[in-house]
A and B are shown apart, each in its own frame.
Chain A
Amino acid sequence: MKEFILQHKRFSFYSLLVAIVVGIAIFAPYITPHDAFNADMSKAFLKPSAQHLMGTDKLGRDTFSRIIYGTQTSLFMTIILVILTAVVGTVVGILSGFFGGKVELVLMRFTDIMLSFPGVVLAIAIAGILGGSAINAILALVVVSWAKYARLIRSAVIKLRHNDFIAAARVNGTKQMTILWRHILPNVLPLIVITGAMDIGTMMMEIAGLSFLGFGAQPPTPEWGLMLNENRQYILSSPELMLYPGMAIFIVVTIFNLWGDSLRDILDPRSTDSH
């Protein structure tokens, strides 16, 4: 353990930051100084003070508590999104890469369609038409994001398929499904993990973007993108209200981007950014 930390200082440090963010997300309800949902109109638009570190919003809710609680909302939504996207993309990628033939042709045509259209535009349309909600926003982003994973994993599987150990397993009479589970999946897993980890930051911003447009999390959920949208009208009187949620997105996305980069450097040392 100690050796690992010393060997991978960068990764260990960023993992610590990620752990702190995750900790804040999990324990959000217990560590907020005030109730993130409790509206008290008599306290609307209070300026920052010792009582309310970041002041209060239009309904008199404590902004600091809502920012903290927002960590849970954002992180929870993002994790579900990344996992779902990775699972769909992996299934499509493995099926088309492993079986080839007609399966591959159809699935890859589909993938190409999804890749040849600006995803966010479609995500806005899907989330909006289905009706703004956290679940619909996640679904919309899964629909437009899985194709990238499918592409990547398909080419990895095709490379694997021609390896001797797969041929050996075949000759031994191993069942197709067993080859898939025991030999193919474990070998593409690092690729899936790297891609997923590096995507967390982007996905978090896309979810916040949908919420900002009104097609994601709905009031009174404390979600950073939604908070930015709610506080946008008061930019003149209470500009600090739009500063905090944006800052929160920025910091957490930065942490996850740094962490993703350092994780890739460990799992796949060949492809570093700086050559």
Chain B
Amino acid sequence: MKTILSKVSQLLITLIGVTFLTFCLTYIAPGDPALMVLEAGDTIVSQEMIDATRKEMGLDRPFMEQYVRWVSGAVQGDLGTSYSGKKPVTDKLLEGLGGTALLAVSAFLLNVLLSIPLGIYSAVKANKLPDFIIRFFAFINVSMPSFWLGMLLLYIFGLKLHWVPIATSVISFKALILPAITLSLVMAAKFTRQVRTVIIEELHQDYVMGARARGMSESQILWKHVLPNALLPLITIMGMGIGWLLAGAAVIEIVFSWPGMGKMAVYAIAMRDYPLIEGFVLWVALIYTAINFLVDLSYSILDPRLKARG
């Protein structure tokens, strides 16, 4: 219980820290938001109008007051109004959330299906041919920028072979295939290596030698002893991947014109739509910390020793 409380307070500090940093940046950034809002409309802008809009948007208030107001709004689910389109930020983010979630979850599942079996196989066959082949491909993939891999796949399977639609901006299973594969491939390369390291470490434990001495078969050792013991580090690795996934999704969404939160955020940044950017950062922080929190919780369920201690 005590650990949960301290985790929650840690989580809150992170949220406040990250949003405060973003808020500071938008404050010192060049450009006057009031002017930008007015220029989005089709009128000639006068100084009086700018001043009135600044007042209306609360921009004439001191910095800390603005931040506190933003936080108290955010706590109630109100993240302000997006500059472009005049829609509530929460609504805009919700529009993109579905696309990003679909992409991220599919990529994550593909990544698990790829990296865990490959990593285990590579570890079992350590320093033999299959291991070298798997490591070779993992190494190549690690050095490959995701956006370039995406463009290559898009060119081959979209433009040349016409297997999948390109740049539809509509969510469909066919349109999902390439972005999900791209995102998962880059991830899987890194993860396969980490899974391999974890399994090799476990295979070097004394109990494995003991089991071998008792005449247990290698596959029995792997399934009954090594994998259950490797579960915790594997979950840690997979949990750490979530952050990477959220960031990677933004780039992939741009390459494939996939309608998601990341693509929206990149456009919001280009348009200097500060409320939308702040909302996006808060949401990513929330999703990320919440998932990490769940990963932490799963430890105490999977490893009773931790529960006894905590």
Write the residues of chain A forming the contact surface with B, with a CB cutoff of 8 angstroms: 109-110, 112-113, 116-122, 124-126, 128-131, 201, 205, 208-209, 212-215, 225, 228, 232, 235-236, 239, 242-243, 245-246, 249-250, 253-254, 257, 273-275
Contact = CB atoms under 8 A, between A and B. Distances in A.
B14 interface: yes
A249 B265 CA distance: 25
Contacts of B139: 254, 257
Contacts of A274: 126-127
Contact of A212 (B30, B147, B152): B147
Given A113-B18, A117-B18, A212-B147, 20 more contacts: A117-B243, A117-B284, A118-B247, A121-B243, A121-B246, A122-B281, A124-B247, A124-B250, A124-B266, A125-B22, A125-B265, A125-B277, A130-B25, A130-B29, A209-B145, A209-B146, A228-B147, A235-B154, A246-B145, A250-B148
B75 to A, nearest CB: 19
8 contacts: A113-B13, A116-B10, A116-B14, A124-B269, A125-B265, A129-B269, A130-B25, A253-B144
A257 B193 CA distance: 14
B155 interface: yes
Contacts of A126: 25
A275 B126 contact: yes
Mostly helix, strand, loop or mixed at chain B's interface? helix
Given A131-B29, A215-B269, A236 B10 contact: no
Nearest to A254: B143
Contact of A249 (B140, B145, B250): B145
Contact of A116 (B127, B274, B280, B292): B292
A118 B266 contact: no
Given A235-B155, A246-B152, A253-B143, A121 B284 contact: yes
Contact of A236 (B147, B159, B242, B244): B159
B143 A112 contact: no
Interface of B: 10, 13-14, 17-18, 21-22, 25-26, 29-30, 126-127, 139-140, 142-148, 151-152, 154-155, 159, 193, 197, 200-201, 204, 242-244, 246-248, 250-251, 254-255, 265-266, 269-270, 272, 274, 277, 280-281, 284-285, 288-289, 292
